[in-house]
Structure 1
Amino acid sequence: MFTGLIQTIGKIERYSNGQLTISCPEIRSNLAIGDSVAVNGVCLTVAEILARGFIADVSPETLSRSNLGAGNLPPVNLEMALAVGDRLGGHFVTGHIDGVGALCESKMTGGAWEISFSAPEELGRYIISKGSIAINGISLTVAQCNGLGTWFSTAVIPHTYDSTNLKYLQIGSSVNLEADMLGKYVEKFMKSDRQNQRQQSAITSDFLAEHGWN
């Protein structure tokens, strides 16, 4: 579990034989084998400690569902897993990517950055105005969105912009998106309730015959 508050920026040095080598001297001394680290919002496990970073195993599924498999990837956002007793300053981020979006526009307005993104349609239903979303692992608040949620904007303060890889993105750059898990649970509970109600209210000829109505 993560908070979406980025601790440092690292760099993917290489990908080989199902492993990513990531340099991150700022947090290297705090890492241990088996630790979870969010890399651009993707939860990875430290498999080996290096002098200036770590190696993590990564599956083809992870590469296909995130931007970690993209070539010429800019520096990546890094966050170590939330420890018991830590402050939760962002929102609950699982490190399980829901889809890949893209940067549409980025501009400075009134002392903050207004940044807009596109999102896959299947993810759009979880994107709501003033809701939470993780973009490359960064906990951000949706400022505005269209009806389908396939386009949305965020307001980013200079500190967040300068401390993350948002400053390296170009128009069209891919970004990992993780919707707020609370919305996904609510959707499932409501869907389950509707199915149960339909089953309970369904009166068929077989039901009547089974209960003595001929």
Structure 2
Amino acid sequence: MGSLVNLERALKPSTRMGGHFVQGHVDGTGEIVSTEPEGDSLWVKVKTTPELLKYIVPKGFIAVDGTSLTVVKVFDEEECFNFMLVAYTQQNVVIPLKKVGQKVNLEVDILGKYVVRLLNSGVVNAIK
């Protein structure tokens, strides 16, 4: 409670859409387990629950404290994923203010949730 998050304005329906589909929901939380500078970039590794990790894929989207990011790698055995923040992003979001051990809010990709739901419902098998 009381921690900073990023808020982005919603797109108008008439706006050209591209990139990530962020809804502004919180699906769960994660914990920052490491931050490592690399040049002017910052690698961040986050641990989360298996329930959320099943929706997280490399090169897929994740929103961390309201910031839409691209996942670089998923570490299933560690229940973690990582992403990189370039210098510009570090200067304009709250994530670099967080310390190892702090919680972050996570929103997973809605498209991934739909795919998992369809696969589990048997709809895909019925179409075949």
Query: Which TM-score applies when normalising by structure 1?
Result: 0.54
Q: SS state of the match for residue 89, structure 2? A: helix
Shift of 1:123: 0.6
What residue in structure 2 maps to residue 108 of structure 1? 37
Q: Deviation of residue 132 (structure 1)?
A: 0.9
Alpha-carbon distance in 1 for matches of 2:124, 2:22:
29
Conservation of the 8 A alpha-carbon contact between 2:5 and 2:66: no
CA drift of 1:81 comes to 2.0
CA distance in 2 between partners of 1:86 and 1:185 (Å): 24
Mapped to 1, the partners of 2:16 and 2:102 lie a distance apart of 31
Aligned-partner Cα distance in 2 for 1:195–1:128:
20
Choose from 122, 125, 128 the match for 2:54.
125
> Which amino acid is the alignment partner of residue 101 of structure 1?
G
3-state SS in 1 of match to 2:68: strand
**Contact kept in structure 1, 2:22 and 2:63, CA below 8 Å:** yes
Partner of residue 14, structure 2? 85
Q: From the superposition, tell whether residues 177 and 162 of structure 1 become closer, same or farther in structure 2 (CA, over 3 Å).
A: same
Give the paired residue count: 126
How far off is 1:151 after superposition?
A: 0.4
In structure 1, what residue type is equivalent to 2:79? T
Gaps of 5+ in 1: 1-69, 198-214
More strand, by proportion: 1
Structure having the higher Rg = 1
Displacement of 1:146 in angstroms is 1.3
Segments ≥4 residues shifted beyond 6 Å? none
Cα offset, 1:196, TM superposition: 6.8
Report the AA paired with residue 86 of structure 1. Answer: T
Higher relative contact order (CA 8 A, sep 6+): 2
Shift of 1:110: 3.0
SS at match of 2:76: coil
1-side partners of 2:16 and 2:124: how far apart? 39
Distance 1:128-1:97 versus aligned 2 partners, 3 A rule: same
- C-alpha deviation, 1:194, in angstroms: 6.6
5+ unaligned residues in a row in structure 2: which ranges?
Answer: none
Change (3 A) 1:103 1:84: same
Let me know the Cα RMSD of the aligned residues.
2.1
Q: Does 1:177 align with 2:106?
A: yes
Distance 1:149 1:179, change over 3 A: farther
Residue deviations 1:43-96 (CA, integer Å, cap 9, x gap): xxxxxxxxxxxxxxxxxxxxxxxxxxx2xx333312222222335454101112
Are the aligned partners of 1:125 and 1:149 in contact in 2 as well (CA < 8 Å)? Answer: no
2:93 matched to 1:164? yes
Find the aligned partners of 2:59 and 2:50 in 1 and give their Cα distance.
Answer: 19
Q: Normalised by the size of structure 2, how large is the TM-score? A: 0.86
